[in-house]
Structure 1
């Protein structure tokens, strides 16, 4: 299970509207969205993860995208569907770790920008990374 991002660095990175590519993959399936708002994707992934941890199905709309991301509990893990693809993840903790690593990488890239400015979604992502870090350290 891996979540990878690539920020569009062809122009100055805009922390208010950070654009780039996101790839979510397991051993057999890959979901990729190019030239998208990464902060919105992270917010949607965090929202979906929280719902699945509570045993709920949820379809999360991304304002800038035409299709929702659907999250559902599955066995001991979860499934994520987007457009015509779905990924099965055997353990929720596996997805949580991959999301935390990718979100932390994303924030580090934005934080390193001169004249860094934040937006509300970045705080949601930062809170998730910090909360999950505390959870992982406590284990």
Structure 2
């Protein structure tokens, strides 16, 4: 009896561990063919949605946090967004958002560092966010 209970617990634990890191699929980006970047009201609404999801309408926290949001600079191919939040206490949090699935995924620093190069692969300057707040390179 103890062996079968142990097997059930172990299999549940393995299942939980395997599903704790969500599988994130990012399609290969298409480069921006223009000499300029389009960031319109639609994109602004997505950036606000990402910030609101993370900060839950906390204006004082928003004002004191460094927020960087990255996406493909080609507005025709801007489905995957990733954001970093640096708070007053120097803690960091990361969030991935896919527009077509309207899906938010909390990611850790390691996942952020793995996803970011894929998302900005087609951008000429991969270090500059498409949207930021309280960040010097605005």
TM-score of the two chains, using structure 1 as the length reference: 0.25
Higher relative contact order (CA 8 A, sep 6+): 2
Asked which structure has the greater CA Rg, the reply is 2
TM-score (norm 2): 0.26
